Structure 1
Amino acid sequence: MDWAYQASKRLLSNPVDEAISMLFADIGKAADVDRVFMLEYDLHHLRFRNAYEWCRCGVRSFLKELQDTPVTLIAWLHQSLVKGEALMIHDVDNLPRVARSLQIEMLRQNDKSVLCVPVMHDGSLRACLGFDMTRHKRRWRLEEANELSRCAALIATARYGCPAPVGQPLADAAATPAPLIFLLRQSGARGVGLDEILGLRSAQNYTEVWLGDGSVVLDQRPLKIWAGLVPKAGFMRIHRTAIVNLQHVVELDRPPSGVRWDVRLRTLSKPWSVSRAYQQELRQRLGI
């Protein structure tokens, strides 16, 4: 098993897009899997698209369908990927309840087992690379995950490591609407911008999403899922039961005793408590 060597040969001797497509065919056949895919994130990690895909003869392609898809669809998977962790799903039927939306999508694709590894560049998650099994269930081996991760590292360098050619215009971010993150309610879903979220509080197996307009939406996913969804650059956990959007912190109360700290969030009348374990990081993040 030396898929990374094959990846190196393809990436060194062909244009990146062509090399990745050829590589997927190589490792798909070598690994005896039914589908090889690469899901690529936007800069906000709020949406993804199926950028590359190889399918065994007779296996349906989903390349054209999974475009500009909200990351909340794969939230359970995303929480591992954003930490740089591979995920070996041996049996899609046995995914936990919190992964229900992901399970529905996998079953729609007739997936029985899935192996997925993160594609990281400069310490940031850029995409994920994976195998699907549709013919039968498969128990993945650690060696397979490790070798696929080596391929992911090579792909990341080839695809994201080179600067844009001189003279190539940069994307006009102002012309692109801010992406939405979707709150999953019992009555449906509501899309909100990240800057609308003041904070998140645990409500047992659910999460209270506090919004700038004064409303509180009860999302049907636990706080640990949201911890992987919101970008760490703007959000911070201040308590095991609470995460805040730092751009909405307007005041930090630190009594002389130093035992209990509170933060006040824009438009909210009641402060939120800061656990001792997060106090030093909060000071650094606020620059005080």
Structure 2
Amino acid sequence: MSSSHNTAVQPANNVIFHDPALAPVRGASDWLFDCADKLLRFPVDQAISLILSAMGETAAVDRAWMIEYRPDLLRFRNTHEWCRGKTTPYVKELQEVPTTLIAWLHRYMVKEKAVAIYNIHELPRSARAIQIEFIRQGDKSVLSVPVFCDDQLYGIIGFDTTVSYREWASAEVDALFQCARLIGYAKYGNGRGAHRAVLYEGQSPTLYLSMKGVVQGIQPEAILGVRSAGNYTEIWLANGSMVLDSRSLGMWVTLLPQKTFFRIHRTAVINALHVVEVDRSDRDRWLIRMRDMNRTWPVSRSYRKLLRERMGI
């Protein structure tokens, strides 16, 4: 790869670290104009989705995405993702992920450097953890750019290719940097970043489900309960539908807010907000009925005490 940027020490020949302060934008100027236009005309999160879609299409990449750090930078979550064609989305799986998974990349993000990777299979040994994740996602080349506002790191936006390898042109790296700065200011500037810790902790996390091939974000409040179903988990929703998810019930226990969700059986977790009846008429078989669901779910003996405590009965 070649670039007019000054670079940090390169642990692998196929990785270049770009410093945005050292070069002006050259080319891909339509991204910058389009980014500013959408941020002015749409709510910020809708604008980010539209921006990633437009850049992903024009850059001919297979994924365009944004992740957001927790205020303490110890965890991150995928908040926006665009995929080309049949490329597999991973937004629903990358929620509340420890930053240690991307430790190698993170150390350059905090220094406000872009990391352009031509071949993920040639990363240094110190990048093994993130390399495994890249391989899992089917990546060949990856470009990552930090999202800063007022000297604070808030997230990362980037591109992946899964079909072919890609040398990242300096002009598109520069343009992506400028878009990241605009996004950072729009989402976290004017004092909005100061309230991020309260918002992050106070708002329910968005959970992602694949519904008829489309990944859709939902709030936990919309889930009645989840049950183990062999190699899958059944996700029962307030609209009466059920979605099969490939993540284990144990994984869902970690994703769902403990304030309202609790186990009633080793194979089932319910949302206390949707419980309308606890049938204890048969002392050997307790049953729970939830709003907008015709069937009942059994409560095992080992979870009866927890049920009483959580439901106040």
TM-score (norm 2): 0.53
Residue in structure 2 matched with residue 11 of structure 1 by the alignment: 39
Match of 1:59 among 83, 87, 106: 87
Q: Over the residues paired in the alignment, what is the CA RMSD in angstroms?
A: 2.2
Equivalences for residues 89-168 of structure 1 within 5 A: 89-163=117-191
Q: Secondary structure of the residue that 2:48 maps to in structure 1?
A: helix
Give the AA of the match of 2:198: A
| Counterpart-to-counterpart distance in 2, 1:105 and 1:33 | 18
Q: Can you list the C-alpha shifts for 1:198-222, whole angstroms capped at 9, x where unaligned?
A: xxxxxxxxxxxxxxxxxxxxxxxxx
The 1:174–1:34 alpha-carbon spacing in structure 2 relative to 1, beyond 3 Å, is closer
Is the CA contact 2:71–2:196 (under 8 Å) kept in the aligned structure 1?
no
Post-superposition offset of 1:88: 0.4
For structure 2, list consecutive stretches of 5 or more residues without a partner in the other structure: 1-27, 204-313
Structure showing greater Rg: 2
Structure 1 runs, 4 residues or longer, greater than 3 Å off? 172-176
Q: In structure 2, the residue corresponding to 1:49 is in which secondary structure?
A: strand
Return the offset for 1:17: 1.0
| d(CA) in 1 for partners of 2:159, 2:104 | 17
SS at structure 1 position matched to 2:154: strand
Residue pairs, 1:1-288, within 5 angstroms: 1-2=28-29, 3-163=31-191, 171=198
Task: Give 1:162 deviation, angstroms.
Answer: 3.6
Q: Secondary structure at the match of 2:198?
A: coil
1-structure distance, mates of 2:87, 2:142? 15
Q: Distance in 1 between matches of 2:190 and 2:170?
A: 30
For 1:8, give the aligned amino acid: A
Q: Report deviation, 1:173.
A: 9.3
The whole-number CA distance in structure 1 between the counterparts of 2:196 and 2:168 is 43
Identity %: 45
Q: Secondary structure at the match of 1:171?
A: helix
Q: Deviations over 1:153-175 (max 9, x none)?
A: 010011001445xxx99829999
Residues 1:174 and 1:69: Cα distance change in structure 2 (over 3 Å): closer
- Which whole-Å deviations, capped at 9, do the CAs of 1:99-133 have from their partners, x for residues lacking one? 00100000000000000111001101100110000
Task: Give the equivalent residue in structure 2 for 1:198.
Answer: none
Once the two structures are TM-superposed, the CA of residue 95 in structure 1 deviates from its matched residue by: 0.4
Partner of 2:246: none
- Write the distance in 2 (CA, Å) between the matches of 1:169 and 1:38: 16
**Aligned residue-pair number:** 173
Question: Which residue does the alignment assign to 1:211?
Answer: none
| Aligned position for 1:264 | none
CA distance in 1, matches of 2:134, 2:178: 25
Rate the CA distance shift 1:174–1:23 in 2: closer, same or farther, 3 A: closer
Counterparts of 1:173 and 1:150, CA distance in 2: 25
Name the TM-score, length of structure 1 as normaliser. 0.57
In structure 1, runs of 5+ residues without a counterpart are 177-288
CA distance in 1 between counterparts of 2:196 and 2:119 reads 45
d(CA) in 1 for partners of 2:201, 2:92: 27
Q: What is the identity, as a one-letter code, of the residue corresponding to 2:55?
A: I
Q: Using the alignment, how far apart are the partners of 2:166 and 2:180 within structure 1?
A: 21
Deviations, residues 22-47 of structure 1 (Å, cap 9, x unaligned): 11111000101000011110111100
The whole-number CA distance in structure 2 between the counterparts of 1:20 and 1:158 is 10
